[in-house]
Structure 1
Amino acid sequence: MLTQFRKGWLAFTTTALLTLSVQASAENYTIGTGSQSGTYYPLGGMLAKIWSENIDNFDMRAEVTAASVENVIKVSTHKQLAGIAMGNVVEQAYEGTKPFPRKMDAVVLFALYPNVVQFMVPADSDIHSITDLKGKKVSLGAPGSGTRVSAVNILNALGVEEKDIQAQSLNYTATTSAIANGQIDAGAIVGSLGVGAITELALTRNIRILSFTEADMAKITAANPSYQLIEAPADTYKNVASFKAPAIWNVLVVNKDLDNKLAYEMTKTAFENMDKIRKAISVTQYTTLENMKKLDGVPLHPGAQQYLDEQSQ
């Protein structure tokens, strides 16, 4: 009887330990980023590291994705805890307009930094404006990416439709490779100033970034009020002249039903460790309490709003 009791107890404790192990591993999360050659991926990795090291029973990893659109959808459907996305994409998701089939359950945790719409061409190209792209081979970004959404928005605002160009659907790496090899005439990358993909291309090829006029910007902001003008100084990229381009804020999104306490803890932990993040990701110089609500039209998660209210007192 004693032996049977011991065997039964051993089986029970083994099962209990396995159950506890499964429960413990259930606190594994992902943050949706983008291409490994962009800014989203290292930033997402840094946030995941900070949260994992400072929040109890929290383990997160950065996931490579097609970026904004995919991240918003996955956050809204509970397939990712958080995701990085461009503000115009998040606004379209919140309103339920194309490319989204319905309103998405995504809200903002906090704003990150401005993303610049950068159209690259070879330095000796005869393309000097968006209208010059008509009839040309142009990469508009990967399907499901914020780059593609923004590139199309900009084209349309300036009277150019996809049917007017030979549109290619390439990610950051494929876009810069295609330009380097002369396979396309122009390519759009929407990212921070100094984004890695363009920086690397400029080291080996002579390129230009199209500069937008005041008249261009007036049309763009009339059609898409969330865009603002950014002036990039000369040598933002090697041998590239100064340029003016439309920009939109990137934000961190979470599901609107995310636990308030966890959302508060994620926000608090990120800002308390922002100095560490800035040492690794320079564009987070823009990630401040003052800029938390930079994106109009989409609310902050209540947990994030609670932290902001406390810090504003």
Structure 2
Amino acid sequence: MYKTLKTTTLAMGMLVVAAAAQAEELRIGTASLGGAFYPMGQSISNMVNKYAGGDLSMVPVVTGGSVQNPRLIDSGEVEIAITNNNLAVLATKGKGPYKSGAIDMSAVAALHPSVLHMIVLDGSDIKTIEDLKGKRVAVGPAGGGTLGFMNFVLPLHGMSTDDIVPSFLSYSDGFSQLSDGNVDAAFALSGYPAGAVMQAAAGNKLRFITFSNGMLDKALEKNAAFKAVEIPADIYSTAQAGNMIGVNNMLIAPNSLPADTVEKIVAAVFDNLGELQEENANAKQIDPANSLNLAIPLHEGAARYFKK
């Protein structure tokens, strides 16, 4: 009897190992640590690992962020990733940062918006974007969405990155440097609350850099993909709310990713959106209806889910 039980247990163990070996592991491209993309990717991975039926698993990957992620989709280094509406359009058209060629990808789902956090310590003499001239500024990692946004915003003020002293740092490192006084301002294109900003706010009084009169409206007129977003004062315990510029985010995938796989991912996340929102504060800003109004077409698998 012992021999029979032992043999049966061994056989069951081999079946478990075989099933695990057959599970397809997907990599989701996020961004640097300290922003909102990595924890969002981690939470999405948790939903897929829990609810996709055992034949799919997912792991979050630290990347350069929203600019780099479509390139990683194109090269096959990740199977799914997070980017924003504006960059998704440029990637599929082979424009802007993607002039080397259009990327064959589509949308999977709408996510939370990202907001360009423009932050200084409360006692700083930097009030507006124009005051950044000659200042040391943490601009996020090279290849990330923050720098791309700054390359849009600064020229509207007659400036460029040549007018500042940029530090290409992860959001965590950038806001740590702000706290230590090693940079004068720190920027982060992230959903809110952003972990790096929260960490800085825990030991410092922070303040938002503001747009000069009319400049935010000018920015929104120039690119319809962007929108005004107010960050309430209680998010980072600032004296005033921040009237910032932002953009909606989305999940993207290569068109070569099977439709059944994409549908399982979307179902794992959106059939359990309440649980995702309990785990991730940024997920509370996700509206499933927005997935039907994205800037690029939905992947076939996502369309099956959202249009049923």
TM-score, normalization: structure 1? 0.87
CA 1:106–1:158 in structure 2 vs 1: closer, same or farther (change >3 Å)?
A: farther
Whether contact under 8 Å (1:109, 1:254) holds in the other structure is: yes
Whether contact under 8 Å (2:25, 2:56) holds in the other structure is: yes
Alpha-carbon shift at residue 26 of structure 1 (Å): 6.7
**Aligned twin of 1:275:** 274
**Aligned twin of 2:94:** 96
**Aligned twin of 2:162:** 163
Q: CA offsets, 1:4-50, max 9 Å, x none?
A: xxxxxxxxxxxxx9xx9599357121111122322211211111121
Rounded Cα–Cα distance in structure 2 between residues aligned with 1:78 and 1:240: 45
* Identity between Structure 1 and Structure 2 (%): 26
Rounded Cα–Cα distance in structure 2 between residues aligned with 1:25 and 1:69: 32
Whether contact under 8 Å (1:33, 1:67) holds in the other structure is: yes
**Aligned twin of 2:145:** 146
SS in 1 for 2:82: strand
Rounded Cα–Cα distance in structure 2 between residues aligned with 1:207 and 1:91: 34
Whether contact under 8 Å (2:106, 2:254) holds in the other structure is: yes
Whether contact under 8 Å (2:85, 2:247) holds in the other structure is: yes
**Aligned twin of 1:219:** 218
**Aligned twin of 2:5:** none
**Aligned twin of 2:186:** 187
Deviates more, 1:209-218 or 1:167-176: 209-218
1:53 aligns with 2:50: yes
Alpha-carbon shift at residue 235 of structure 1 (Å): 2.1
Q: 1:1-313 counterparts in 2 under 5 A?
A: 24-25=21-22, 27-56=24-53, 57-100=55-98, 101-213=100-212, 215-296=214-295, 298-310=296-308
Q: Which has the larger radius of gyration?
A: 1
Rounded Cα–Cα distance in structure 1 between residues aligned with 2:304 and 2:262: 9
Alpha-carbon shift at residue 256 of structure 1 (Å): 1.8
Gaps of 5+ in 1: 1-16
Alpha-carbon shift at residue 228 of structure 1 (Å): 0.6
- Residue type of the alignment partner of 2:44: L
SS in 1 for 2:67: helix
Rounded Cα–Cα distance in structure 2 between residues aligned with 1:134 and 1:308: 46
Alpha-carbon shift at residue 294 of structure 1 (Å): 4.3
Alpha-carbon shift at residue 193 of structure 1 (Å): 2.1
Whether contact under 8 Å (1:134, 1:165) holds in the other structure is: yes
CA RMSD of aligned residues (A): 2.1
Rounded Cα–Cα distance in structure 2 between residues aligned with 1:251 and 1:142: 20
Rounded Cα–Cα distance in structure 2 between residues aligned with 1:214 and 1:88: 25
Task: Give the number of aligned pairs.
Answer: 292
**Aligned twin of 1:11:** none
Whether contact under 8 Å (2:111, 2:286) holds in the other structure is: yes
- Residue type of the alignment partner of 1:98: G
Whether contact under 8 Å (1:89, 1:149) holds in the other structure is: no
CA 1:140–1:293 in structure 2 vs 1: closer, same or farther (change >3 Å)?
A: farther
Rounded Cα–Cα distance in structure 2 between residues aligned with 1:217 and 1:21: 56
Whether contact under 8 Å (1:249, 1:294) holds in the other structure is: no
- Residue type of the alignment partner of 1:193: Y
Alpha-carbon shift at residue 212 of structure 1 (Å): 2.6
Gaps of 5+ in 2: 1-13
